[in-house]
Structure 1
Amino acid sequence: MKNPALLEEMKIYLGRDEVPEDVDAFWDEEVKKVSHASSLPVGGNKFPHFSSQVL
């Protein structure tokens, strides 16, 4: 890299938009909203297989 100062700047680059002060609180709430999903049953009913039918 021709400009070593640019490398140091890129180490802390957060993108074009500023990060809101409450970003951690926002993501904590979003994780809480979906954390119950792991307790939902997975599997069970099978979908019918239509590969032998001509559509």
Structure 2
Amino acid sequence: MHTTATLHAHPACKPIRVFEIRYLAREYGCTFIASKPKQKAHQPHTPFDPNGGRAA
């Protein structure tokens, strides 16, 4: 069984460094994975008034 190393780039990494990492990965036969920041779950806004508000 043949395993290869995996290189990951942090989302805050500068673009020039990402190109360097991609080049090195290709040069040495590694797999490159560009990590993306995780998106936060969207939660609907809750009303400020506990009784439902806005009703007269």
Alignment TM-score > 0.5, same fold: no
TM bracket (short chain): under 0.3
| TM-score normalised by structure 1 residue count | 0.26
Q: By percentage of residues, which structure has more helix?
A: 1
| TM-score normalised by structure 2 residue count | 0.26
- Which one scores higher on RCO, CA 8 angstroms, separation ≥ 6? 2
